[in-house]
Structure 1
Amino acid sequence: MACQGFKNIPYSWHEQIIDLLAERIVVVDREGNILYINEAYCEFLGTTVEKALNEPVYEVIENSRMHIVAKTGKKELAAVQPINGSEMIANRYPLYENGEIVGALGTVMFRNPEEWRMYKSKIQRLVEELRYYKTKVQSEYKSKHDFSHLIGNSPLFVAAKKLAERVSESASYILIIGESGTGKELFAHSIHNNSDRSGMPFVAVNCASIPEHLLESELFGYEEGAFTGAKKGGKKGLFEIANNGTLFLDEIGDMPIAMQSKLLRVLQEREIHRVGGQKSIAVDVRIIAATHRDLDKMVAEGHFRQDLYYRLNVIKIEIPPLRKRKEDIELIAMNLLKKLEGRFFRKGIELSQEVKGKLTQHSWPGNIRELENVLERSINVLDGQVIELDHLPLYLREQESPHHDEKKKSKTSNIMPDFSTIPVQPLKETLAAVEKQAIENALAFTKGNKLEAAKYLEMSKTSFYEKCKLYNL
């Protein structure tokens, strides 16, 4: 019916109607040669209709893709096309006859120089602002590692790496289990970088480092006036920033139980509500969670929601600690040295055989992070090119056997405060004194390493740091 109605319009009107509706228009045949182009387009291009007709479109129109659309049959809508030093918005449609592609139609917005000047002064500014923020987001929320950065040949590690590679292209949620310092975040980066979301944001958040009262607004954002101090215009949460990308929830085991229920609702409904907001915002985010805690035990004790655990634990990847991959220690150490050489402007640093032996003997409670700290400390006191025993920290030099650290740990764990030295006082103050002495013992044993001390006392990093601050340690 529409075609019959169009035939009623006098043919002499057709070109005028096309010019009014389509602004600038070009039609090409199957080979990309120009069959029709209107004067408005030619005027803008600095040519004439006579010169443009029957010429290849890519020779007449800068950065044209009309010949590609005429081949592929795939339309391109609202495409930004650089022409004459700036951008215009182009629409490109394939043309069919009897079910076969015969050419393509292209239109470009803006019909005269005045409209173009308006675009340059108003819209172009928005394009530049969009570019700025896009570049900023890509630099701040871009995955920095891939699977080539995961070093190791031990069977347990290779199995974990292969599983991560296999599931990276899936959209399923992933739970990474491993002790502190084993490289859980590197695995998360690599999985994102190997997925079809790699061009979108990778946003990492440590659930243990954000105070409980701020965690909801950080994850879900807030509206203007939601609370005292809220920014004008509100703020996007990390879920919105990570939309179409990946959100890495590190230390998920430290997330408060009240926050766990809110997270579960978002994962189930795939939409968020900003703090103080009324409308729901749809989000498409892949979740990778990680923890060093025993979530099965936490679920049994009621400290972690069972339904959230099952929601997150679709695919579990367990990263072995360094003490279970002794054969990888030398390889990892040499790789870390290469990285540290660049930081210290050094070259050709090596490890002596005695040092290699000591590194292999150690149990590495702090895993790869501890190994990197040891090597960095050694380079700081190194004069030559070879790291010797004297360059290692004292606790490694005094190590007697592979079981030495475990014996020392066991011995230290049995050290109890001398209650006879504690005066009779209210129970609360007595318990505080015992707690302070236990923390001091742990710090003395770990040479001041708070992360290791927290592990020996079986405390979370957040709680341990709060106690240290309370007791001025």
Structure 2
Amino acid sequence: MLNNDPLLKHNILETIIDSAYEWIVVVDHEGIVQYMNKTYCEFLGENPREVIGKHVTNVIENTRMHKAVLQGKVEIADLQFIRGNYMIANRIPILHEGKVIGAVGTVIFRDTEQWKKMNSHIKALLHELDFYKKEWHEINGATYTLNDFIGISREAEKIKDRVKNIASGDLSVLIRGESGTGKELLAHSIHQLSERSAKPFIKINCGAVPEHLFESELFGYSEGAFTGAKRGGKPGKFQLADGGTLFLDEIGDLPQNMQIKLLRVLQEKEVEPVGSLNSQKVNVRVIAATNRPLEQLIENNKFREDLFYRINVLQIQIPPLRERKEDIWPLAESFIRSNCRETGKRIVKIDDDVKEAFLQYTWPGNTRELKNFVEAAIQLTQSDQISLDAFPDFLREKLKVHEAQKSLKDYVHETEKKVISSYLKKMDGDIKAVANALGIGKTNLYDKIKKYNI
């Protein structure tokens, strides 16, 4: 039996190692070869039995195996010239009870040409993967995930849990919230977490499509439906989203004549392209979003009540940023990191007065406005820190709406910091010259520079 035959086990292990793609050599603590697999011996022109007991330097030219033993250091992907070719070798010390007792060496690529071929092959595969990923994103359409919804507030956590709970299934979802709160981001997230994630995510802004084009945009048209129609017709958003998700953004702006047609599609699960006599079955989950008070629109006969109940099966309400101020700085820091990656800028510090101003501001534009503020500050700052001075005048005025609450001491410190910063810049950082110009001692100036983090 295999378990009871040590010799058989040894022969099997030796066969596996000898047939391995890598060349393998093992030396003891003195650099004496204890083992070398068959393929390595063949390359070196050595007899597998006679090589045992020789010093590794007498077997492998330019070897560092004996040095790996002495130094006890791991060497990975090292170039080594052997028999007219560069090899790519690894050397790993063997430890026992804290002492180096030997080393094992492997050659992964037997020459640099093999490595170049492998590298080119991998690059070709990566380019092919990138092509298919790009094609997939163009077809799928969903780019955001729930991880992109930044927030640590109780409200943000409840929204994330809500998304996870309703993502599965086919029920319609209505996402409500002010402009800039992240409604589209949540729509993407619901699709990504649903069983439809492998199918298309198609979106349409109901407020951006001209009314006379809306029907053909939603339901498509057949050939010859109207002057200028494409040959063969064109599928609408519902046909493109078949099997997946259709995101109707700003549904409160949907023209009234389209509301009844949309209701019919949602009820019958079929569309009739413009100019066609036949209906087409579609399997689409609808996610709608709005910043408008639909109930009030219903009272004013501007939105159909039956359509409201059809899309409002499941609902998510996103509170404005002013009602979840704990999320302001996590969001701002996320935008800073993202923008720095894109622009190559480096921001290491944000002044406390910026943080205070951000917390005091009401953010009528919500997350979108916060992102614009951050991007403007990073673009305009001349250093690696963001201060209120980095913001454009009109943004700074917005952020300083509570400036009257500052004390006289705050104003003095703020002015002092600006003056010292200005003189340092004007005098190229010459401390002595700045101190003389301001009429203070160098030690006092140093203290103020440290105090104001200049």
Match of 2:299 in 1: 300
Match of 2:237 in 1: 238
Hey, what's the Cα distance between the residues in 1 that align with 2:261 and 2:371?
A: 37
Residue 349 of structure 1 and its aligned partner are, at CA, apart by 4.3
Match of 1:247 in 2: 246
Hey, what's the Cα distance between the residues in 2 that align with 1:404 and 1:287?
A: 46
Hey, what's the Cα distance between the residues in 2 that align with 1:296 and 1:231?
A: 39
Hey, what's the Cα distance between the residues in 2 that align with 1:217 and 1:350?
A: 52
Match of 1:266 in 2: 265
Equivalent residue runs for 1:14-413 within 5 Å: 136=135, 138-399=137-398
SS in 1 for 2:197: coil
Asked if 1 retains the 8 angstrom alpha-carbon contact of 2:248 and 2:287, the reply is yes
Question: Structure 1 segments of 4 or more deviating over 4 A?
Answer: 132-135, 399-405
Asked if 1 retains the 8 angstrom alpha-carbon contact of 2:200 and 2:240, the reply is yes
Asked if 2 retains the 8 angstrom alpha-carbon contact of 1:219 and 1:237, the reply is yes
Residue 379 of structure 1 and its aligned partner are, at CA, apart by 1.3
Change (3 A) 1:261 1:133: farther
Note the alpha carbon deviations across 1:38-82, whole angstroms, 9 max, x for none: xxxxxxxxxxxxxxxxxxxxxxxxxxxxxxxxxxxxxxxxxxxxx
Asked if 2 retains the 8 angstrom alpha-carbon contact of 1:172 and 1:314, the reply is yes
Hey, what's the Cα distance between the residues in 2 that align with 1:287 and 1:361?
A: 38
Residue 300 of structure 1 and its aligned partner are, at CA, apart by 1.1
SS in 2 for 1:398: helix
Asked if 1 retains the 8 angstrom alpha-carbon contact of 2:357 and 2:399, the reply is no
Over the aligned positions, Cα root-mean-square deviation in angstroms equals 2.1
Asked if 2 retains the 8 angstrom alpha-carbon contact of 1:348 and 1:385, the reply is yes
Asked if 2 retains the 8 angstrom alpha-carbon contact of 1:192 and 1:202, the reply is yes
Residue 139 of structure 1 and its aligned partner are, at CA, apart by 2.2
Residue 186 of structure 1 and its aligned partner are, at CA, apart by 0.3
SS in 2 for 1:204: strand
Q: How many percent identity over aligned positions?
A: 47
Note the alpha carbon deviations across 1:210-246, whole angstroms, 9 max, x for none: 0001111011000010001100000011101100000
Hey, what's the Cα distance between the residues in 2 that align with 1:366 and 1:359?
A: 13
SS in 2 for 1:236: coil
Residue 257 of structure 1 and its aligned partner are, at CA, apart by 0.6
Change (3 A) 1:316 1:346: same
Structure 1 or 2, whichever has the larger Rg, is 2
Hey, what's the Cα distance between the residues in 2 that align with 1:239 and 1:404?
A: 51
Code of the residue aligned with 2:384 in structure 1: it is Q
Note the alpha carbon deviations across 1:395-448, whole angstroms, 9 max, x for none: 44335877789xxxxxxxxxxxxxxxxxxxxxxxxxxxxxxxxxxxxxxxxxxx
Residue 394 of structure 1 and its aligned partner are, at CA, apart by 2.5
Q: TM-score, normalised by structure 1?
A: 0.56
Asked if 1 retains the 8 angstrom alpha-carbon contact of 2:271 and 2:279, the reply is yes
Unaligned runs of 5+ in 2: 1-130, 405-454
Q: TM-score, normalised by structure 2?
A: 0.58
Asked if 2 retains the 8 angstrom alpha-carbon contact of 1:322 and 1:364, the reply is yes
Code of the residue aligned with 1:149 in structure 2: it is D
SS in 1 for 2:260: helix
SS in 2 for 1:148: helix
Note the alpha carbon deviations across 1:337-386, whole angstroms, 9 max, x for none: 11111221223443211111111111111111111111111111111111
SS in 1 for 2:175: strand
Asked if 2 retains the 8 angstrom alpha-carbon contact of 1:362 and 1:396, the reply is no
Change (3 A) 1:400 1:149: closer
Asked if 2 retains the 8 angstrom alpha-carbon contact of 1:138 and 1:201, the reply is no
Hey, what's the Cα distance between the residues in 2 that align with 1:340 and 1:145?
A: 17
Hey, what's the Cα distance between the residues in 2 that align with 1:190 and 1:356?
A: 29
Change (3 A) 1:330 1:400: closer
SS in 2 for 1:240: helix
Residue 310 of structure 1 and its aligned partner are, at CA, apart by 0.2
Change (3 A) 1:378 1:144: same
Residue 393 of structure 1 and its aligned partner are, at CA, apart by 3.1
Hey, what's the Cα distance between the residues in 1 that align with 2:180 and 2:251?
A: 15
Asked if 2 retains the 8 angstrom alpha-carbon contact of 1:273 and 1:281, the reply is yes
Which sits farther off after the overlay, 322-331 or 341-350?
Answer: 341-350
Which sits farther off after the overlay, 143-152 or 248-257?
Answer: 143-152
Asked if 2 retains the 8 angstrom alpha-carbon contact of 1:201 and 1:241, the reply is yes
Note the alpha carbon deviations across 1:181-223, whole angstroms, 9 max, x for none: 0000000000000000001000111000000011110110000
Note the alpha carbon deviations across 1:92-135, whole angstroms, 9 max, x for none: xxxxxxxxxxxxxxxxxxxxxxxxxxxxxxxxxxxxxxxx9997
SS in 2 for 1:228: coil
Change (3 A) 1:135 1:226: farther
Asked if 1 retains the 8 angstrom alpha-carbon contact of 2:347 and 2:386, the reply is no
Hey, what's the Cα distance between the residues in 2 that align with 1:133 and 1:277?
A: 34
